[in-house]
Structure 1
Amino acid sequence: MAATAPLCDFGWKAVDARLPGVDGRTSSILDHAGPRGLVVAFICNHCPYVKAVIARIVRDARDLAGAGVGFVAINSNDALTYPEDSFENMQRFSAEHALPFPYLYDEDQSVARTYGAVCTPDFFGFNAAGELQYRGRLDASRKEAVDQGLRRDLYEAMLEVARTGRGPAEQHVSIGCSIKWKSPS
Structure 2
Amino acid sequence: MATETPVCDFGWPAPDFALTGTDGQTHKLADIAGPNGTLVIFICNHCPYVLAVLDRIIRDARDLQELGVGVAAICANDATSHPADSFENMQKMADEKGFPFPYLHDADQTIARAFDAACTPDFFGFSADLKLQYRGRLDASRNTTGPSDLRRDLFEAMKQIAETGQGPRDQISSMGCSIKWKSQV
> Which runs of no fewer than 5 residues in structure 2 stay unpaired?
none
- Could you tell which deviates more after superposition, 115-124 or 22-31? 22-31
- Structure-2 separation of matches of 1:163 and 1:145: 29
- Could you tell which deviates more after superposition, 53-62 or 22-31? 22-31
- Structure-1 separation of matches of 2:175 and 2:49: 8
Aligned to 2:35: 35
**What are the within-5 Å matches in structure 2 for residues 30-179 of structure 1?**
30-179=30-179
- Structure-1 separation of matches of 2:144 and 2:177: 14
Q: Residue type matched to 1:161 in 2?
A: I
Aligned to 2:183: 183
Q: What's the offset of the Cα at 1:31?
A: 1.3
Question: What is the TM-score when the length of structure 1 is the normalising length?
Answer: 0.98
Q: What's the offset of the Cα at 1:131?
A: 0.4
Q: What's the offset of the Cα at 1:145?
A: 2.3
- Structure-2 separation of matches of 1:121 and 1:155: 15
Over the matched positions of the two proteins, sequence identity in percent amounts to 60
Q: What's the offset of the Cα at 1:112?
A: 0.5
Q: Matched residue pairs, number? A: 185
- Could you tell which deviates more after superposition, 118-127 or 22-31? 22-31
Deviations 1:133-174 (A, max 9, x none): 000100001122221320000000000000100000000000
C-alpha RMSD over aligned residues: 0.7
- Structure-2 separation of matches of 1:145 and 1:2: 16
Q: Spell out structure 1 runs of 4+ moving beyond 3 A.
A: none
Q: What's the offset of the Cα at 1:27?
A: 1.2
Aligned to 2:3: 3
Q: Residue type matched to 2:99 in 1?
A: L
- Structure-1 separation of matches of 2:40 and 2:183: 25
SS at match of 2:135: strand
Q: What's the offset of the Cα at 1:96?
A: 1.2
Question: What is the TM-score when the length of structure 2 is the normalising length?
Answer: 0.98
- Structure-2 separation of matches of 1:53 and 1:30: 27
Question: Is the 2:48–2:144 Cα contact (8 Å) retained in structure 1?
Answer: no
Deviations 1:75-102 (A, max 9, x none): 0000000000000000001011110000
- Structure-1 separation of matches of 2:151 and 2:62: 17
Question: Is the 2:123–2:174 Cα contact (8 Å) retained in structure 1?
Answer: yes
Q: What's the offset of the Cα at 1:29?
A: 2.5
Matched, 1:14 2:14: yes
